Amino acid sequence: MLVLGIETSCDETGIALYDTERGLLSHTLYSQVAMHREYGGVVPELASRDHIRRVLPLITQALAAANCELRQVDAIAYTQGPGLAGALLVGASISAAMSFALNIPALGIHHLEGHLLSPLLSTPAPVFPFIALLVSGGHTQLMQVDAVGHYRLLGETVDDAAGEAFDKTAKLLGLGYPGGAALSQLARQGRPGQFKLPRPMINSGDLNFSFSGLKTAVLTLLNKQAIDDQIRADIALAFQDAVVEVLTGKSLAALTQSGLKQLVVAGGVGANEQLRRNLSRKASAQGTTVFYPELEFCTDNGAMIAFAGAMRLQAMPESARQPARGFNVRARWNLEMLETPKPD
Ligand code: KG4
Ligand code: ZN
């Protein structure tokens, strides 16, 4: 079965074609980052309008790259939530229209389910069950992934996401948006131990995170002294040390608590070299394998939505595979409320 995936939940338009026999055939992506940079963050209305401009040309491109025609598509999978309502509506409405016109089902996919299953698109792929650390601009969560549709939230941020904290701190340090990569670049010049920032919630006894206090701590440091390039780099390193130590500590605790031996790191912050080094070193010391899927599958993309759709389609009874009769989106949507697919 051939599934067309459509991701429009935030600032990336992602399209993909996934075949249940042949695997991922193609995927195309347009990132709006350059457009939003001017405003220092994602502007929802601009995001929706840009998705409208990109989505059909990207579908045409993805079909051409896969050497397929639209009429060969057996089902559409689109991100139904969570995300920006207007942006989600673009993918949902196009999917509903195509589903109706082609007389094929349209499946609304939970964006985080896409992220959680995306490591299975990479090689080597983890096998169920595994722990996933999702760290992006929008999410910071530790999940146990037992099977398709079986996800357990172990812990999450109580305020800012890790990537959001990187971006806000980067802004305080005078770096552009999104600033995570630039901050980690700057941290390379930092002198270890020059400043020490708190490790929020490291001893909270649960697997939750809190990152909003760190940017305030950085602001206090910045206001306390004359700032030159070296001090900025020292502060960047101190901030990164704190985030990496907390993410590593909680991930290892999740592995210990669950008794599982595989950790998958997904999301843009997973690109952070210090996080990778630290996690790999500490995890291998306790006999755990850490998987870092290719960045193109870690950050928002259409492939993960097509893949999650294909998994769900296969698990669906034939009778449920009906074309759309309408559409709705879920800007807020708890992953644990997801229905588990039930095979025939
Ligand atoms: O997964 P992603 O593309 O999803 C979102 O759209 O949220 O993640 C983007 C986030 C941004 O906050 C960015 O600053 C952060 O990932 N990021 C990094 C690095 N590269 C990207 N954070 C820390 N270190 C990096 N090297
Ligand atoms: Zn995402």
In a domain? residue 16: yes
Hey, what amino acid is at 15?
I
Please say whether the beta carbons of 26 and 16 come within 8 A.
Answer: yes
What is the C-alpha to C-alpha distance for residues 78 and 336, in angstroms, rounded to an integer?
A: 19
What is the C-alpha to C-alpha distance for residues 212 and 235, in angstroms, rounded to an integer?
A: 16
On whether both 315 and 278 belong to a single domain, the answer is no
On whether both 111 and 159 belong to a single domain, the answer is no
In a domain? residue 181: yes
Q: Is 77 exposed, middle or buried (0-12, 13-18, 19+ CB in 10 A)?
A: buried
Which pLDDT belongs to residue 293? 85
On whether both 86 and 177 belong to a single domain, the answer is no
For residue 333, give its domain range: 2-116+298-337
Query: Which are the contacts of 247, defined by CB distance < 8 A and separation ≥ 6?
Result: 133, 135, 162, 209, 269, 275, 279
In a domain? residue 238: yes
In a domain? residue 183: yes
Which pLDDT belongs to residue 335? 84
Cβ of 163 below 6 Å from ligand 1: yes
Which pLDDT belongs to residue 215? 94
On whether both 137 and 270 belong to a single domain, the answer is yes
Residue 17 belongs to domain with CATH number: 3.30.420.40
Which pLDDT belongs to residue 342? 59
Query: Can you list the residues of the chain whose pLDDT is less than 70?
Result: 341-344
Strand, coil or helix: 280: helix
On whether both 98 and 162 belong to a single domain, the answer is no
Cβ of 83 below 6 Å from ligand 1: no
Strand-strand pairing, 12-19 and 23-31: antiparallel
* Ligand 1 mean position, distance from CA 168 (Å): 12
Question: Residue of the nearest CA to atom 8 in ligand 1?
Answer: 268
* Ligand 2 mean position, distance from CA 112 (Å): 7
Total domains, the chain: 2
On whether both 311 and 264 belong to a single domain, the answer is no
pLDDT in tens, 58-71: 999 999 999 999 99
Q: Which of 166, 264, 295 to mutate to test the pocket of ligand 1 (most atoms within 8 A of CB)?
A: 166
On whether both 283 and 134 belong to a single domain, the answer is yes
pTM for the complete prediction?
0.91
On whether both 251 and 320 belong to a single domain, the answer is no
In a domain? residue 342: no
Which ligand has the shortest distance to the CA of 9? 2
On whether both 321 and 180 belong to a single domain, the answer is no
Which ligand has the shortest distance to the CA of 236? 1
CA angle 280, 284, 285 (to 5 degrees): 120
Nearest of 162, 158, 165 to residue 136 by alpha carbon = 162
Cβ of 293 below 6 Å from ligand 1: no
* Ligand 2 mean position, distance from CA 8 (Å): 10
What is the C-alpha to C-alpha distance for residues 330 and 108, in angstroms, rounded to an integer?
A: 10
On whether both 134 and 219 belong to a single domain, the answer is yes
In a domain? residue 57: yes
* Ligand 1 mean position, distance from CA 169 (Å): 13
In a domain? residue 344: no
What is the C-alpha to C-alpha distance for residues 113 and 218, in angstroms, rounded to an integer?
A: 34
On whether both 183 and 52 belong to a single domain, the answer is no
* Ligand 2 mean position, distance from CA 83 (Å): 9
On whether both 137 and 281 belong to a single domain, the answer is yes
